[in-house]
């Protein structure tokens, strides 16, 4: 058990959706097209939706999935046996000293993340997940906090309507993927109703990648293994999402919007903000280039956060550059990127001041998610 010296909010935990959930929760008119878990003749299981099976095998092979499964069995056996129900989620949080966890999906990273999926089916899939999440978190509503799934930006107006519905039901945040959908980046004018609704209702927006979706994905167009696709997609898609939100003026137009860049590490952040600042100076006043009222790094400092990997060696340097107020602790539990509950012990051992540790573990995620 980690030291009780610090209260802890997990800014990016995950659930494992149970078998049959999608069929039970999706609207009856879509039940025959509900997502499901399938197993192919090779023995490879996947998430089937819209006629596609995710993750794409060229990004996560059968052998790689087997390696992940072995790692999960070794470190998370008791939670796996409990089928990752709400009680086991709380038990895992207790083992790691987590007081509150904001929960993101696993299957849901993929089920509506298909470029040519029908917009009405995409939003129906999101609604199904969001309704299930409310029921899941009802087991301990003060500790299990749902993050609304809104990867279905195929129709931004429908997405904005779902923001309103979730806000009325008590959600504090929603999440989107960083990838383009139907050729639209996150700064596309069509998304204005969505960003405006999030800002107006005070919902934070988490941006979360998941390798192997049927969307344009950095690295997947030129590599065919998990090592390359995963190493590239998570940080590079987040860099491009940040570029769109800042350079495309979304944060300029919506100064009260709160945004978090998740599960991509933070070591790249100082360089990327410096590079955007430099380009902002070079292009200032030039026709056709972004005309911003602040330096790109100032938008980040005003309204953005980023999660860090618990064992990242560059966290002290990022703190030196960006200050103590913008980094978040995220466990990624129960995904196999880190060992649980050693994840938090690693975080507590970092050579950073206690003031920074306290902010990373509690104050910063509380500010992002509107708990402060």
3-state helix, strand, coil in the chain (%, to 5): 45, 15, 40
**What tens digit of pLDDT does each residue of 173-208 get?**
999 999 999 999 999 999 999 999 999 999 999 999
**What tens digit of pLDDT does each residue of 136-172 get?**
999 999 999 999 999 989 999 999 999 999 999 999 9
The DSSP call for residue 43 is S
What is the model's pLDDT at position 45? 74
Q: 158, 161, 198: which is closest to 181 by C-alpha? A: 158
Q: Is 358 left (phi over 0), alpha (psi -120 to 50) or beta?
A: alpha
Range of the domain at 285: 9-368
What is the model's pLDDT at position 85? 92
Residue 218 lies in a domain: yes
- The model's confidence at residue 5, banded by pLDDT at 50, 70 and 90, is confident
Reply yes or no on whether the pLDDT at 4 is more than 70: no
Reply yes or no on whether the pLDDT at 75 is more than 80: no
CB 307 within 8 A of CB 288: no
Residue 2 lies in a domain: no
Residue 32 lies in a domain: yes
What is the model's pLDDT at position 19? 87
The region of weakest confidence among 235-239, 260-264, 303-307, 334-338 is: 334-338
Highest mean pLDDT among 67-71, 75-79, 161-165, 221-225: 161-165
What is the model's pLDDT at position 3? 54
CA angle 233, 236, 241 (to 5 degrees): 110
What is the model's pLDDT at position 43? 61
What is the model's pLDDT at position 307? 98
Residue 319 lies in a domain: yes
Residue 257 lies in a domain: yes
**What tens digit of pLDDT does each residue of 89-113 get?**
999 999 989 999 999 999 999 999 9
CATH number at residue 295: 3.20.20.140
**What tens digit of pLDDT does each residue of 115-127 get?**
999 999 999 999 9
- The model's confidence at residue 44, banded by pLDDT at 50, 70 and 90, is low
What is the model's pLDDT at position 40? 65
Reply yes or no on whether the pLDDT at 372 is more than 80: no
Residue 86 lies in a domain: yes
Q: What is the mean pLDDT of the chain?
A: 94
Residue 1 lies in a domain: no
Q: 24, 11, 170: which is closest to 104 by C-alpha? A: 11
What is the model's pLDDT at position 42? 61
Number of domains in the chain: 1
The region of weakest confidence among 31-40, 242-251, 257-266, 356-365 is: 31-40
CA–CA distance from 218 to each of 56, 178, 183, 185, 241 (Å)? 14, 10, 14, 13, 11
Residue 3 lies in a domain: no
What is the model's pLDDT at position 228? 96
**What tens digit of pLDDT does each residue of 340-369 get?**
888 888 888 889 999 999 999 999 999 999
Angle between helix 296-303 and helix 269-283 axes, rounded to 10 deg = 130
């Amino acid at each position: 058990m980690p030291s009780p010296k610090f209260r802890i909010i997990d800014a990016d935990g995950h659930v494992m959706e149970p078998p049959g959930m999608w069929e039970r929760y999706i609207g009856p008119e879509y039940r025959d097209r509900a997502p499901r878990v399938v197993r192919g003749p090779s023995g490879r299981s996947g998430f089937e939706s819209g006629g596609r099976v995710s993750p794409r095998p060229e990004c996560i092979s059968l052998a790689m999935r087997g390696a992940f499964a072995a790692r999960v069995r070794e470190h998370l056996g008791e939670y796996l046996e409990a089928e990752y129900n709400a009680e086991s989620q709380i038990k895992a949080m207790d083992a790691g000293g987590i007081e509150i966890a904001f929960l993101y999906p696993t299957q849901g990273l993929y089920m509506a993340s298909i470029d040519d999926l029908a917009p009405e089916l995409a939003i129906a899939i999101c609604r199904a997940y969001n309704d299930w999440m409310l029921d899941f978190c009802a087991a301990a509503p003060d500790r299990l906090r749902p993050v609304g799934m809104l990867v279905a930006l195929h129709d931004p107006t429908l997405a904005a309507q779902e923001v309103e519905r979730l806000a009325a039901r008590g959600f504090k945040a929603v999440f989107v993927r960083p990838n383009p959908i139907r050729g639209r980046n996150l700064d596309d004018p069509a998304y204005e109703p969505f960003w405006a609704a999030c800002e107006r209702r005070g919902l934070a927006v988490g941006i979360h990648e998941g390798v192997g979706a049927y969307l344009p994905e950095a690295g997947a167009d030129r590599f065919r293994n998990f090592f390359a696709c995963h190493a590239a997609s998570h940080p590079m898609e987040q860099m491009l999402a940040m570029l769109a939100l800042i350079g495309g003026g979304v944060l300029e137009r919506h100064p009260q919007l709160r945004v978090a860049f998740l599960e991509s590490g933070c070591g790249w952040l100082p360089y990327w903000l410096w590079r955007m600042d430099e380009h902002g100076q070079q292009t200032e006043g030039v026709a056709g280039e972004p005309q911003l009222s602040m330096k790109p790094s100032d938008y980040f400092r005003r309204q953005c956060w980023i999660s860090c990997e618990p064992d990242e060696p560059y966290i002290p340097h990022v703190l030196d550059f960006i200050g103590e107020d913008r980094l978040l602790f995220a466990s990624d539990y129960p995904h196999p990127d880190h060992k649980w509950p050693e994840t938090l012990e690693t975080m507590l051992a970092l050579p950073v001041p206690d003031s920074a540790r306290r902010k990373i573990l509690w104050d910063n995620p509380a500010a992002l998610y509107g708990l402060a």
